[in-house]
Amino acid sequence: MHIADIDTPAVLIDLDILERNLRAAQAYADTHGLKLRPHVKTHKLPRIARMQMDLGATGITAQKLGEAEAMADGGLTDIFLPYNILGQAKLDRLHALHERVKLSVIADSAVTVAGYAARFTDAAHPLTVLVECDTGAARCGVQDGHEALALARQIAAAPGLRFGGLMAYPKRGDLAGTSAWLAATIPLLAGAGLAPDVVSTGGTPDMFRAAEVGEATEHRPGTYVYNDRMQIGFGHGNWADCAMTVLTTVVSRPTATRAILDAGSKALAADTAPLPGHGRIVEYPEAIITALNEEHGMVDLTPCPRRPEIGERVRVIPNHACVVTNLFDHIHLIRGDVVDEVAAVTSRGRLG
Amino acid sequence: MHIADIDTPAVLIDLDILERNLRAAQAYADTHGLKLRPHVKTHKLPRIARMQMDLGATGITAQKLGEAEAMADGGLTDIFLPYNILGQAKLDRLHALHERVKLSVIADSAVTVAGYAARFTDAAHPLTVLVECDTGAARCGVQDGHEALALARQIAAAPGLRFGGLMAYPKRGDLAGTSAWLAATIPLLAGAGLAPDVVSTGGTPDMFRAAEVGEATEHRPGTYVYNDRMQIGFGHGNWADCAMTVLTTVVSRPTATRAILDAGSKALAADTAPLPGHGRIVEYPEAIITALNEEHGMVDLTPCPRRPEIGERVRVIPNHACVVTNLFDHIHLIRGDVVDEVAAVTSRGRLG
């Protein structure tokens, strides 16, 4: 099967670029003595997760239970789920997953820990729980070292739980802030006999500076596998590092300067980037995707020296690769112009 | 099954509100002598399309071939597909669909018409083609009456095609502009013996003013079935008219004024509304969903007189209902607090 045989809109992943991105991340981690625990939310494909493991990753990261289950189904055996898992239904699923793979999770509240402690009671096979720390990103996480210590103690006191360390999602561009936060917290834990085995950081934009957080033992980048306009806007990577494109057809040319693509917000998603427009058309890089309706992408061709015709197929680098993966049932993995595999995205559309 | 038995995040549709919205639209159309051809892109559910037909709709509208096919599978028999269908693969699917249902499509270029004319050649069973008109919305469509006439002639001259009329997606708030555009064009067509049988307009925000386009014979509203924050921002409907909510759990309360929901951009989508924030929390209407990560919704509780606890479940009216439908494999149709049906969204994630 050739790219020309794929109908549009469709997602293409260039395996050569993907492999280069995977190797670069692992090489950085190896050079700096960090473990790499890639985040699979971007690709949701066990095949790519296995490629990451083969290159030396210590395990993988999943962002929701359904994603972790799909990875276990795909043969992955060491999964970190940095999410507060709450409620009996999800705790039961978590327990079942814990029987199948080496699993670790996080908590940032006593409520979450109490839920784990009630469901996991086997001291011979404890669930590893890290404490999520808000080191500046203002998302989840305990606010200071004293809160971290209190949670670590609660975890350590539960027979069926094991305190695994600290996890943070650093504020982009402020690795020093995360480092300072961790440096203030770790001695408190160590003083209580709870020195963290693992200190896990995440994020693609700063991944090639991850070692500046000297306290970290592992890093969890996600988007780096494909890259996108958002990452490039943040200063990570170049167009040649973008492995994901959306193959689309020009369905209308209403005026000399306007083209309409058959990829709208249900194919490219409405996520914005620190660059104008909704995607980069590889063949017409001067064009601006000015707006998206659900099945239409509006393109301003004014700056373009040459312009596409109706029926022409073009490839679009999206603003945010991770959410595009979540919009398609199948992803086309390509080598050059040849389709290597049409891979099913099994963990999209699932609850939880 | 009760709402309490549904794990989060999940999409809920309140059938009482839905039915009220459906009836109001049909009543307006009936009162004003317009046919109603509801757009199914919002719900993608044959059951709701059948409810629309039972109330008096003349047929339905689908925005892509996969959506139309799913509706035919669901028993719908009169489908308008206002999209330029291009390429052999899609033309073959279109031809197969034409054998199953009463089908009409659009074209806005000679290229699109030529494709239809080559694939549809049976004068005894012609494909009905309307001309899409850009009456001000600056999306697809011919630019003036002369272009419309040229395309109508090309359609009428093809043995296997039938000229069906004009279709427009009016610019929001400018019905007068659409009316003037059509009033200037229709006499040109009539003078050539090609008076349009159907003049079709669309859009929810102006649906209760659709009759102001006196040239229109039918209207194609979509989002009105559920409504959302975007429509309310546009001035259409009230919170009590919003049939879709996303059921979500508060998974973290890192600070006194911050809550984190288990619904992020992969559940609520990043579409913006003419109101601040990413959704309205029904139980905490003063709260502001300030940002979305993929599986996290960040909430500022500062303005709230009372605040939710960890583990509490809340319902969020999303910014844009149509794209939320596209993110879930299943939709929960509810009557009060009881689940009436868990309906599969069969036409999401499909190519084309």
Q: How sure is the predictor about A351, in pLDDT bands with cuts at 50, 70 and 90? A: low
What confidence score (pLDDT) does residue B350 get?
63
What confidence score (pLDDT) does residue A347 get?
82
User: What is the token pair recorded at B96?
Assistant: 């197969």
Inter-chain CB proximity A64 and B295 less than 8 Å:
yes
- A292-343 residue pLDDT tens: 999 999 999 999 999 999 999 999 999 999 999 999 999 999 999 999 999 9
Nearest residue in chain A measured CA to CA from B115: A311
What b-and-e string marks burial along B165-194, b requiring 16 or more CB atoms within 10 Å of the CB?
bbbbbbbeeebeebbebbeebbeebeeeeb
Question: How many alpha carbons lie under 13 Å from residue A83 in its C-beta half-sphere?
Answer: 30
Inter-chain CB proximity B87 and A7 less than 8 Å:
yes
- Separation between Cα atoms, residue B245 and residue B8, nearest integer Å: 12
Nearest residue in chain B measured CA to CA from A88: B7
User: What is the token pair recorded at A69?
Assistant: 């289950």
If you average pLDDT over residues B94-119, what whole number do you get?
A: 98
pLDDT > 90 in chain A, percent: 98
What confidence score (pLDDT) does residue A221 get?
98
Shortest CA gap A31–chain B (Å): 30
A-chain residues near B140 (CB < 8 A): 251-252, 254, 260, 296
One-letter amino acid identity for A48? I
| Contact call for residues A126 and A98 (beta carbons, < 8 A) | no
| Contact call for residues B305 and B311 (beta carbons, < 8 A) | no
A-chain residues near B348 (CB < 8 A): 329, 349
Task: Name the residue ranges covered by the structural domains of chain B.
Answer: 3-9+235-344, 16-225
Q: Is the pLDDT of residue B293 over 90?
A: yes
Count helices and strands (H / E) in chain A.
Answer: 9, 17
Shortest CA gap A191–chain B (Å): 24
What b-and-e string marks burial along B26-59, b requiring 16 or more CB atoms within 10 Å of the CB?
bebbeeeebbbbbbbbbbbbbebbbbbbebebbb
Q: Is the pLDDT of residue A215 over 60?
A: yes
Inter-chain CB proximity A254 and B134 less than 8 Å:
yes
CA distances from residue B254 to A135, A199, A269, B243, B308 in whole angstroms, order as listed: 12, 20, 29, 31, 12
Give bridge partners of residue B343 from the DSSP assignment.
B331
Q: How sure is the predictor about B322, in pLDDT bands with cuts at 50, 70 and 90? A: very high
User: What is the token pair recorded at B80?
Assistant: 């308008």
B-chain residues near A88 (CB < 8 A): none
B-chain residues near A8 (CB < 8 A): 87, 351-352
What confidence score (pLDDT) does residue B351 get?
57
A-chain residues near B296 (CB < 8 A): 139-140
Inter-chain CB proximity A323 and B143 less than 8 Å:
no
What confidence score (pLDDT) does residue A59 get?
98
Shortest CA gap B337–chain A (Å): 19
B-chain residues near A40 (CB < 8 A): none
B-chain residues near A309 (CB < 8 A): 111
Burial class of residue A59 (count of CB atoms within 10 Å of its CB; 0-12, 13-18, 19+): buried
Helix residue ranges per DSSP H, chain A: 15-31, 46-54, 65-73, 88-100, 110-119, 145-157, 175-191, 229-234, 321-325
Inter-chain CB proximity B298 and A348 less than 8 Å:
no
Q: Is the pLDDT of residue A350 over 80?
A: no
- Separation between Cα atoms, residue A126 and residue A122, nearest integer Å: 6
Q: How sure is the predictor about A352, in pLDDT bands with cuts at 50, 70 and 90? A: low
Give bridge partners of residue A291 from the DSSP assignment.
A298
Inter-chain CB proximity A328 and B311 less than 8 Å:
no
| Three-state DSSP state, B94 | helix
What confidence score (pLDDT) does residue A336 get?
96
Q: Is the pLDDT of residue B140 over 80?
A: yes
Phi-psi domain of B30 (left: phi exceeds 0; alpha: psi -120 through 50; beta: other): alpha
- Separation between Cα atoms, residue B30 and residue B204, nearest integer Å: 16
Inter-chain CB proximity A86 and B310 less than 8 Å:
yes
Nearest residue in chain B measured CA to CA from A257: B138
Phi-psi domain of B2 (left: phi exceeds 0; alpha: psi -120 through 50; beta: other): beta
User: What is the token pair recorded at A85?
Assistant: 């898992």
* E strands present in B151-243: 161-168, 198-202, 218-220
If you average pLDDT over residues B286-296, what whole number do you get?
A: 97
If you average pLDDT over residues A276-282, what whole number do you get?
A: 97
Determine which helix (DSSP H) or strand (DSSP E) holds B14, and give its type and residue range. strand B10-14
What confidence score (pLDDT) does residue A348 get?
78
What confidence score (pLDDT) does residue B168 get?
98
Q: What is the ipTM of this complex?
A: 0.96
Mean pLDDT computed over every residue of chain A: 97
- B227-265 residue pLDDT tens: 999 999 999 999 999 999 999 999 999 999 999 999 999
One-letter amino acid identity for B312? E
One-letter amino acid identity for A50? R
Measure the CA dihedral B247/B249/B253/B257, to 10°: 10
Interface with chain B: mutation pick from A40, A266, A302, A331, highest number of B CBs within 10 Å: A266
Inter-chain CB proximity B271 and A270 less than 8 Å:
yes
Inter-chain CB proximity A254 and B143 less than 8 Å:
yes
B-chain residues near A83 (CB < 8 A): 251, 262, 295
Inter-chain CB proximity B262 and A352 less than 8 Å:
yes
Phi then psi for A80, rounded to 5 degrees?
A: -105, 130
- Separation between Cα atoms, residue B238 and residue B232, nearest integer Å: 6
* E strands present in B203-335: 218-220, 244-255, 258-261, 279-281, 288-292, 297-300, 313-318, 330-335
Shortest CA gap B247–chain A (Å): 11
- Supply the DSSP symbol for A183: H
Q: Is the pLDDT of residue B149 over 70?
A: yes
Q: How sure is the predictor about B177, in pLDDT bands with cuts at 50, 70 and 90? A: very high
If you average pLDDT over residues B299-310, what whole number do you get?
A: 98
Smallest CA-to-CA distance from A35 within A10, A61, A9, A14 is with A61
A-chain residues near B9 (CB < 8 A): 351-352
CA distances from residue B16 to A61, B42, B240, B242 in whole angstroms, order as listed: 41, 17, 11, 11
Shortest CA gap B331–chain A (Å): 10
Considering only the beta carbons, identify the residue of B251, B260, B349 that sits closest to A348: B349
Q: Is the pLDDT of residue B349 over 80?
A: no
Considering only the beta carbons, identify the residue of B141, B252, B352 that sits closest to A108: B252
What confidence score (pLDDT) does residue A271 get?
96
CATH superfamily of A16-225: Alanine racemase (3.20.20.10)
Interface with chain A: mutation pick from B11, B41, B84, highest number of A CBs within 10 Å: B84
CATH fold of A3-9+235-344 reads Lyase, Ornithine Decarboxylase; Chain A, domain 1 (2.40.37)
- A240-273 residue pLDDT tens: 999 999 999 999 999 999 999 999 999 999 999 9
Nearest residue in chain A measured CA to CA from B257: A138
